[in-house]
Amino acid sequence: GAGVSQSPSNKVTEKGKDVELRCDPISGHTALYWYRQRLGQGLEFLIYFQGNSAPDKSGLPSDRFSAERTGESVSTLTIQRTQQEDSAVYLCASSPHYSGGAYNEQFFGPGTRLTVL
Amino acid sequence: KQEVTQIPAALSVPEGENLVLNCSFTDSAIYNLQWFRQDPGKGLTSLLLIQSSQREQTSGRLNASLDKSSGRSTLYIAASQPGDSATYLCAVSGNTGKLIFGQGTTLQVKP
């Protein structure tokens, strides 16, 4: 079946512009995660959606970052007034319903490479 | 705060060798541990998931072990092949499901 998809695959923008990144999770997966990977650094958690619960936004680096998810489908990560330090690969992952105390395997999309000039 | 460390940072071996990648984490209160591979310019491919109650998982030539009390996991790759060349990432999740990643081990298998 189809995996996690992300669009665009590459985005080049000018400093100060807003950008929107899209993630389509695997159908039926209730949990959705956004991570960021800056050049030469490890992956950082940004935000997590689980069903209709309030999202865990603890990883968002500033109030310029926000994300939305409609039900259990598409999610959009928005970065306002982009800065050069926002340049990174933004990765989205989804996983099946959390149950029985066990978090399930996360499946990642190919990522969006964001370059802020 | 959970921290994940992977050793070595880079590894180069001749084809056919068996090898071990190491991962350690500072907080043993994890829900699961997941190993991924990442090819240059690509996303992450899940290799193995070990639940906190499990000791190991196997998939083909890969075997991952977990010693939760000591905060360690190893990924064993048998009979390495050039196609195994990639960066291998270890990640743990706590009670929120979000993954905390190590910096990765970059593996090169020479023909």
Percent of chain B with pLDDT over 70: 100
pLDDT of residue A2: 81
Q: What is the pLDDT of residues A63-88, one digit of tens each?
A: 999 999 987 789 999 999 999 999 99
Give residue for tokens 């989205």. A92
Distance separating alpha carbons of residues B59 and B34, to the nearest angstrom: 13
Alpha carbon distances (Å) from B50 to A13, A69, B108: 40, 28, 25
CB contact under 8 A, B97 and A50: yes
Cβ of A102 within 8 Å of Cβ of B49? The answer is: no
Q: Quick one: how far is CA A37 from the chain centroid?
A: 11
Q: How many pairs of residues across A and B have Cβ atoms under 8 Å apart?
A: 59
**How would you label B21-42 residue by residue, b for 16+ Cβ within 10 Å and e otherwise?**
bebbbeeeebbbbbbbbbeeee
Residue-level pLDDT at A100: 53
Chain A residue whose CA is closest to B87: A42
Among the partner residues A56, A91, A103, nearest to B44 by beta-carbon distance: A91
B93 contacts on A by Cβ (under 8 Å) = 103
Report CB contact under 8 Å: B45, A108: yes
Q: What is the pLDDT of residues B20-42, one digit of tens each?
A: 999 999 999 998 999 999 998 88
